[in-house]
Amino acid sequence: MDLLDTLTAKGLRGEVPTREEALAVLATTDDELLDVVAAAGRVRRRWFGRRVKLNYLVNLKSGLCPEDCSYCSQRLGSKAEILKYTWLKPEQAADAARAGVAGGAKRVCLVASGRGPTDRDIDRVTDTMAAIKDADPEVEICVCLGLLSDNQAERLKAAGADAYNHNLNTSENTYGTITKTHTYADRVDTVQKAHGAGLSACSGLIAGMGETDEDLVDVVFALRELGSDSVPVNFLIPFEGTPLAKEWNLTPQRCLRILAMVRFVNPDTEVRIAGGREVHLRSMQPLGLHIANSIFLGDYLTSEGQAGQADLDMIKDAGFEVEGAGEATLPRHRADVAEAAAAAGSCGSAASACGSGGGCGPCGGHSHGAPEAAPVTEGTDDGLREDLVKVRRRGAGTELAPNA
């Protein structure tokens, strides 16, 4: 296929496809799916070999969020029966982090629900990072606390944070249909604040919220322009008790095409399969490893993932290997730029666009004229698939051992 030959050649050179080429990836048929995966896999291996980076989530504060993000089980007014608790003590969070690191995680992601942190919250997270780094100085720490105020990113950087996560989630055109309590520009501003402080920018999207192909391409190109070093691709987990509980719009094939499009647009960037991997890719998860070079190990913020050992077995059986603590994730040319930016305390990603205007991580009515994806039959009138969507009842905030 000429399209895939073109995309592969561009990806191997580190070049970006056109919007039309990215849209064409999403429009490929199921008969072409393995060809799409193989082409994206060549690009993935060019820049990341057969390494898989493992990341581990620690939910520092669960539920009770004042924001109204329609996709989120922790949102204002959510009736999802998730765990709800206030801030974990530093030693509790450090214990949870140790379980993930022992399971092979290279990066620990510290997440707290809420609109954004207070200065006292920054102090809490600083103490938590110190406890984690005392146990393992080499572990990477990514922080996700919502919208940042001035100088908060600098404080996190000085305290030892390596990265900051704040997802754009969807396109600017459709953002207002998902959330009313803050704007797309607010999210862009926070990513820029983090990058400007020398933190590695981790920012991604959520697919499956009723968006069009154009919306997906819009947000992925926006993430590249922002200079995101890591792009988490979340697939909507339709929690009962949230406005999007019945949005079952994804198939495994659709998820793989989305991942491939993200890889072609971000050939030398960490692409992470994030929330919803088990729910929507299911038995086709190993194919996702041929496109993405990063996953979360074990459970997510409010939902359960597959067993941590199953993740490790899947990686091995698919012919991949876990990335070690001493290995650089990004290719050398991107790592050099990122390190220079961190040292200078300013933006500096290879794809950064820091001059343009200005939640929580994984954790629309607008249309450009393309048809909406048809809902699959796996959804039911009652919404929740209890065999697929399982609320987390172990790990941080409970007395049970974490899944790692």
Q: Of the listed 44, 51, 65, 98, which one is catalytic?
A: 65
**Is 141 strand, coil or helix?**
strand
Give every CB contact of residue 399 below 8 A, 6+ residues apart in sequence: none
Domain that holds residue 153: 2-344
Asked if residue 282 belongs to a domain, the reply is yes
SS3 (DSSP) at 313: helix
For the chain, percent of residues with pLDDT exceeding 90: 70
pLDDT digits (tens, 9 = 90+) for 39-71: 999 999 999 999 999 999 999 998 788 888 888
202 is in an annotated binding site: yes
Catalytic residue among 69, 255, 347, 360: 69
pLDDT at 299: 87
Kindly report the CA angle at 360 between 359 and 362, in degrees rounded to 5?
145
399 within some domain: no
Is there a catalytic annotation at residue 144? no
pLDDT of residue 339: 67
Residue 34 is which amino acid?
L
pLDDT above 80 for 314: yes
Q: Name the domain count of the chain.
A: 1
Catalytic status, residue 363: no
Residue 63 C-beta-side C-alpha neighbours within 13 Å: 18
Whether residue 65 is annotated as binding a ligand: the answer is yes
Of the two residues 351 and 44, the one the predictor is more confident about is: 44
**Contact (CB, 8 A) for 304 and 63:** no
Query: Rounded to whole angstroms, what are the CA distances from 267 to 139, 166, 256?
Result: 25, 21, 15
In tens, the pLDDT along 77-134 reads 777 777 788 899 999 999 999 999 999 999 999 999 889 999 999 999 999 999 999 9
Instruction: Provide mean pLDDT across the span 179-204.
Output: 96
Q: Rounded to whole angstroms, what are the CA distances from 96 to 85, 107, 128?
A: 15, 13, 11
Distance between CA 249 and CA 236 in Å, rounded? 9
What span, in angstroms and rounded, lies between the C-alpha atoms of 189 and 403? 34
**Closest to 40 in 3D by CA, of 78, 77, 85, 10:** 10
Residue 86 maps to a domain: yes
Q: Which of 40-44, 226-230, 375-379 is predicted with the least confidence, judged by mean pLDDT?
A: 375-379
* 142 in a labelled binding site: yes
Phi, psi of 332 (to 5 degrees): -55, -40
Whether 365 is covered by a domain: the verdict is: no
Mind spelling out the 3-state secondary structure of 289-332?
HCCCCEEECCCCCCECCCCHHHHHHHHHHCCCEECCCCCCCCCH
Mean pLDDT across the chain: 88
pLDDT of residue 208: 97
Q: Among 202, 255, 360, 363, which one carries the catalytic annotation?
A: 202
Query: What is the model's pLDDT at position 337?
Result: 64
Is 363 assigned a ligand-binding role in the annotation? no
Query: Residue 133: helix, strand or coil by DSSP?
Result: helix
- CATH number where 103 lies: 3.20.20.70
333 lies in some domain: yes
| Annotated binding-site residue? 272 | yes
Enumerate the β-bridge partners of residue 271: 231
Q: Does a structural domain hold residue 402? A: no
Q: Is 360 a catalytic residue?
A: no
Q: Is residue 400 one of the residues assigned to a domain?
A: no
* Beta bridge partner(s), residue 284: none
Answer whether residue 268 shows pLDDT above 90.
yes
The reply to whether 354 sits in an annotated binding site is no
Of the candidates 98, 109, 255, 277, the residue annotated as catalytic is 109
Residue 330: inside a domain, yes or no? yes
**pTM strictly above 0.85:** yes
Q: Which of 107, 254, 263, 272 is catalytic?
A: 272
Are the C-beta atoms of 297 and 258 separated by less than 8 Å? no
Residues 233-261 have pLDDT tens digits of 999 998 888 888 889 999 999 999 999 99
Q: What is the DSSP string of 69-93?
A: -TT-TTSTT-------B-PPPHHHH
| Catalytic option among 44, 98, 107, 142 | 142
Buried b (16+ CB within 10 A) or exposed e, 78-109: bebebbeeebbebebbbbbbbbbbebbbbbbb
Name 107's bridge partners.
55, 140
Q: Report the range of poorest mean pLDDT among 74-78, 120-124, 196-200.
A: 74-78
Q: Tokens for 87, please give them.
A: 């801030």
Assign 339 to helix, strand or coil: helix
Does 354 participate in catalysis according to the annotation?
no
